[in-house]
Each structure stands twice: as C-alpha cells, then as structure tokens.
Structure 1
Amino acid sequence: MNYYSDVFQYRGSHYYFGYYQGKLLKGSPIIHNRQKQWGPKKDRHFIIDKKLFEQVINRFSPAILEEIHGLADALEMSLTEAYRLFGGYYKEFVRSGCSIFTEPDFMVRNYDSHPVGYEGRYMFYQPTDQGYAVLGPSMQITGRIDGMNEKGLVLGYNFTHSKKSSDGFICNMIGRIVLENCANVDEAIDLLKEIPHRHSFSYVLLDRSGESYVIEASPRKVVSRKSNVCTNHFHLLDEENRYRQEETRQREKTIQEQQKHSTNPMQAFRVMNDPQYDVFSNKYDASAGTIHTSAYFPKEMKAWFVIGPNRMPVMFDFNKWLQGNQVLVKRMKGELDYSRPFVNMERL
C-alpha cells in the first residue's frame, strides 16, 4: 500500500505553533481516528491529573505547555482533553520494536511499530520564545519519535517493556523535552535521570563529539553506557528485561555483523533499510514492522528519511533551514507491505 508523511515547518512562539497545528488538525482525520482507536480505553488508561500534569511539565518544559494551550484553543477543546491527547504524561503505549546504529558522524534508525498508529508528520520547528530548534517525525502531535536539534544533539529510543509502569512521561514526549532543552549528550543524560518515566525504554544519544551513549531508563532506575548498537533489551538493567529476548538479541548481533562491512553512511543506511540484511521488518500486525528509516548527521547538520524498504532517502539540510531557507519538500511517499492507512490518510 502507498503511504506518505507530510512535512511541516514553523518559526514562532510555542503557543502559536500549537495554534497553527490545531488549525491544520481540524482538516485532518488524525484527531477523529485517535479518539476512535482509543475509544473506551482512554478513561481507564489515559488518566490525567490536570494540576499534577501542569506542575510536572512546567518543571521540565513550560514552553510545551504553551503549545498544548494553543492546540486546545484552535481545536476548541478543554485543557483536560488536550492534556490527555497531547501531554504525553500517563499515556498508554503500543508495543514497538526499533533498531539503532551509530558511528561518530551519524545515527541511523529503524522505527518499528504498527502503521495504524503512525501520524505521518515530519516537523521542522524553530521556537522564538525558548528552547532549541528541532527536526524529526512526530508522535501524538507534540512528541518526537526521533530527531536532531540545532546544537547537533541526536536522539532515538527503543522500547523495552511497559510492565510495572509508573506515573511519568512516555517516550515521545521525553524525546521532545530532551531535544528542545539539551545542547549535548551530558545535559541529555542528566535530564533523563531526572525526568519521570512511564515505561522502560532505551534512549540513544549522539552529539558532535562523536560519542554515542545508550541510556537505559525504567520508572525505577536510569543508567547510561557507551554503545553504538541498540535494539529492545537492556544490558545493565537486566532485571527490567522481558522474559523473551531471543529476537532482540539476534537483531543486535545481526546489526553488529552487517555493519562491520559498511564503508560509508549510505551503506550503513542500506543495512537498516534493505530487507536482505535481516534488520528491516515486515511484522506490522505484531506492532514490529519497520515504518521509517531515518539518519542524522550532527556535524553536517543533515537528516535523511524514508518510509518503507529499499528507498533512497529524502535529504534535508538543517543548517540551511536554520538560516531561514524553507524546505521545498511537502510530502514524502513510500510503500509498506500492509493494507491499512496511517491515521493522517483517511477517516477510519
């Protein structure tokens, strides 16, 4: 089936960025589809304590709270409902896979999940009030699946498990908060150790120093280690792992073996994006199929992105955009071996 991701770019305050997105969402099927998908689950699992959420988000990123207020105003929605939809705190999470490989000059990542939850939105945002400019694909509107900021900090994350969850932010909002507020790996590690985590994830970080770290984060403990490969299990927090780890450990070994022969970034990208190397996955019904492959180059300030397998990446020059040049790409197209649309494509 043919799929697409729209490219959006905005420069301005967080409130007006939220308002801008809200106006776009009024004409999109995303909100309708999200509410239909969550249905009765939202009142049981997507619990929002309005005052507590405001206290926590104000501590870590008050500007994002302004963005949510802008979304609420544009969508004529109560703040409680806006916090539930866009706050990234206390939310239910759908299981996903994901694989990440880094070299000193780049990170390449497969985002593996279920297509019916994918928003198809790739965002360029440069705030004029506070925080760093960030590019990357969105999740739940305000969050980011992976991305790079104007300081050259790159972040991606991989799911470990959602058992023994606790009050806290989910992965995509954590990614957004880190990228918008941290200039380098050290600052990101400190913030990841301070922020409350809803579920257990690995956050992979790379900056212009060329050092790559995997931060293993659960609601109970956060530790960091140097590594250039990450799949869906912890190395240090072994007690937090799922019982079955054969597939994720095998995928990690496959990446390590295949990437030994990569002589340049494009070859490393192909290892992740070409199914013949056994990293790209078609297991969409199991929420473990590869939807996009992305790459980030913190020293060059460039980003690559594709939907689906065996494709040449769309290449973005983030430096040029930061200097005021608009991106000319409006929509990125691809194909997946699946038959149901992303939530941005048609009303369910």
Structure 2
Amino acid sequence: MGHGKTFTAIEVGDGGDGRWGEYARSRWPELSWWLDPERRTPEHAARGRELFAAHMPELVDVRERLAAQLDRPDGDSFLTFANMRTSFAGCTQIGGAGRLVRNYDFAPDRCEGTIVHSRFLRPVIGTQEAGWGLLDGMNDAGLAVSLTFGGRPVHGPGFAVPLVVRYLLETCATVAEALDRLRTIPISTAQNLTLVDARRAVTVHVGPDIPPTEAPDACAANHQLAPVPEEQERFTRTRERLAAVRATGADVAAMLRPPLYLTAYDQGLGTLYTADYRPDEGRVTHHWPGESWEQSFDAFAPGSRTVTLGASA
C-alpha cells in the first residue's frame, strides 16, 4: 500500500520580506522536532552561537534575520543547527561532472518535503530540511551538493549536516573551494557528501571523529570505509545499493527500482524522492514513480504536488 506525501515549492528571497517567516511559523511544530530536547538551555544556545560565528560568519546576519521572524525563545538556537538531535537515514547518490543524482530515504512524516529557492547570499535551489538546512541543492555558480548518513553511530560537537550543505552552496563556487571549507567545519555525525561542478565530482566521508576523507569514487550509500556489520547490511542494504549505483551510473530509472528504491517506510527507510541535478544548467528534477517536477533558476514555480510513495517503477 502506498504512502501519500505532499511536496511544496517555495521562494523565500533573501529571507527579509516575511515569506520565510510565514512559512517557518506555520511549520514550527514539525521543524522544532529536530531541536534536541536535552539541549534547550541558554548554555547550549550560547555555545551554538559561538560555534556558528567561528565557522560560518558569512551567514550570521542571515540567521539572525530568520530568527527574528520565528520570534521564539529557542528559535535562534534551533537555526544554529548546533543543538540538533541525531537520526538514522538511508539514501544513495552518485555524481559526475555536471550531474548529481540521489535518492533520499527516510520516514515520510519526518521529511519537510520542501523545495526552496533562496537568495540569502546567492541564488540556491535545494530540498530543504529543518527550516533552512538542505538535504541536497545547487547554486548559481554550478556547484551541487548532496548528503547521506554515514552509517556510524557517533556524535560530537559540531553542526547538523543539512546546514553544512547550505553553507557550502552559499559560499563556494567549485568542488575545490567546498573541499577546502569542509576541512574547517565540525560536523556532529558521520555523513557522506557528494559534491559536483562542471568538471569534477567527489564523495567525501566526514564525521566528528575523522578528517574529511575522499571516497574511491563519487558514489555513496550509508557506510564509510569500515566494514559494515551484517545486521546493519540486512536492514539498510547499503553495500548492495552502493554496488548497484556504481553498476547503473546516474540513471533515474534505476533509482526508481529496487534495490535502489526502498519501501520500508514504517521503519524510516523508504525512498521519498529522486533528485536529478544538472547544476551547470541550473535545473533540478524531482522524480517519483510516474511523476516528476522540474525547477530551475530561470523558471522556478512555487506550488505543491501530492505523490504516492512505495510503488517503484
């Protein structure tokens, strides 16, 4: 039986005209779920602001502008992404020069389901999570970035990775620039990032306990370099999916079929969308079985689509 999910496309400009605030306030109960209940203290909020100022100074004014629109005592702490809860997710992705294709696998009711066009520091289009973080996205310079969970249950001080994706797209024009930035940013959990520009594609393993480490190729599922425990493989099929995406390449049709398309929605491991980024062309198409939705910098169309999940093509 399929699961219904509504995806929404919104424009928020530079965050200063009220559109972002209106949207975020309307979705606050589900957005605020990401704020770790054990870190809702003034001390954690202050440390989050300090960490943000040290590592993402270019976005401080933007974050404060957005926090003022939330008008909540914990809004600014939330937007630092330094006090987020952890979660286990799936996902498979592959990059090539000028192209990034990914499946996002998670619980339907925990995915924001928002495609956003913003101009905080520069034009960016991406799939939003937790208000202003991004699961994947591209900028007007032709850089695209996407994330997957790295599969290891480690946690340390640093940022939740959707904000790191946002920061890289706001401040970098090339894969090389983004790799340099990644070396300086603390990330709180094990994650895999695939980065693409017109000439280069690379996957990097990051986490609180490892330096950024380039993978053998621009592919990622939900493990890093260590062997995958058999129980984890049975649940996530991460090794199987990585082998499959390497074999099929950047093929949307393959992403919409098993083993890459997952249907364990009740266990939080079902495919919610396939995104095909062509950043050098400034366009992205979100795919579901039997349906697709294209957006671009030249023709971004706000609206909504309700799709049925779970019936692979």
- Structure 1 residue 284, shift from structure 2 partner: 1.2
1:282 aligned partner: 263
CA distance in 1: counterparts of 2:243 and 2:86, whole angstroms:
27
In structure 1, the gaps of 5 or more residues are 260-264, 322-326, 339-348
Instruction: Report the CA distance shift for 1:200/1:207 in structure 2 as closer, same or farther (over 3 A).
Output: same
Which of 97, 108, 111 lines up with 2:104 in the alignment?
A: 111
Q: Does 1:44 align with 2:44?
A: no
Instruction: Report the CA distance shift for 1:84/1:115 in structure 2 as closer, same or farther (over 3 A).
Output: farther
* Mapping for residues 20-39 of structure 1, pairs under 5 Å: 20-26=19-25, 28=26, 30-35=27-32
2:10 aligned partner: 8
Contact 2:9-2:301 at 8 Å conserved across structures: no
Q: TM-score scaled by structure 2?
A: 0.88
Contact 1:107-1:296 at 8 Å conserved across structures: yes
Instruction: Report the CA distance shift for 1:202/1:244 in structure 2 as closer, same or farther (over 3 A).
Output: farther
- Structure 1 residue 244, shift from structure 2 partner: 4.4
CA distance in 2: counterparts of 1:46 and 1:194, whole angstroms:
26
2:307 aligned partner: 334
1:252 aligned partner: 242
Identity %: 20
- Structure 1 residue 63, shift from structure 2 partner: 4.7
Q: Does 1:313 align with 2:313?
A: no
Which deviates further from its counterpart, 221-230 or 109-118? 221-230
Contact 1:97-1:232 at 8 Å conserved across structures: yes
Contact 2:10-2:302 at 8 Å conserved across structures: no
Deviations 1:78-118 (A, max 9, x none): 2xx01343221131122100000223231110000111111
* Mapping for residues 69-88 of structure 1, pairs under 5 Å: 69-78=64-73, 81-88=74-81
Q: Does 1:139 align with 2:129?
A: yes
Contact 1:212-1:226 at 8 Å conserved across structures: no
1:218 aligned partner: 207
- Structure 1 residue 243, shift from structure 2 partner: 6.5
**Which residue identity does 2:28 align to in structure 1?**
I
Contact 1:197-1:218 at 8 Å conserved across structures: yes
Instruction: Report the CA distance shift for 1:242/1:73 in structure 2 as closer, same or farther (over 3 A).
Output: farther
Contact 1:119-1:139 at 8 Å conserved across structures: yes
CA distance in 1: counterparts of 2:76 and 2:13, whole angstroms:
23
- Structure 1 residue 229, shift from structure 2 partner: 1.9
Contact 1:151-1:183 at 8 Å conserved across structures: yes
Contact 2:55-2:184 at 8 Å conserved across structures: no
Instruction: Report the CA distance shift for 1:70/1:299 in structure 2 as closer, same or farther (over 3 A).
Output: closer
2:274 aligned partner: 293
1:178 aligned partner: 168
**Which residue identity does 1:113 align to in structure 2?**
F
Which deviates further from its counterpart, 159-168 or 193-202? 159-168
- Structure 1 residue 46, shift from structure 2 partner: 5.7
Q: What count of residue pairs does the alignment treat as equivalent?
A: 304
In structure 2, the gaps of 5 or more residues are none
CA distance in 1: counterparts of 2:224 and 2:151, whole angstroms:
10
CA distance in 2: counterparts of 1:31 and 1:207, whole angstroms:
34
**Which residue identity does 1:91 align to in structure 2?**
M
2:147 aligned partner: 157
- Structure 1 residue 34, shift from structure 2 partner: 4.4
Q: Secondary structure at the match of 1:57?
A: helix
Q: Secondary structure at the match of 1:163?
A: coil
Q: Secondary structure at the match of 1:233?
A: coil
Which of 231, 234, 249 lines up with 2:224 in the alignment?
A: 234
- Structure 1 residue 226, shift from structure 2 partner: 4.8
Contact 2:44-2:83 at 8 Å conserved across structures: no
- CA RMSD of the aligned region, Å? 2.4
1:95 aligned partner: 88
Instruction: Report the CA distance shift for 1:119/1:336 in structure 2 as closer, same or farther (over 3 A).
Output: same
- Structure 1 residue 272, shift from structure 2 partner: 0.5
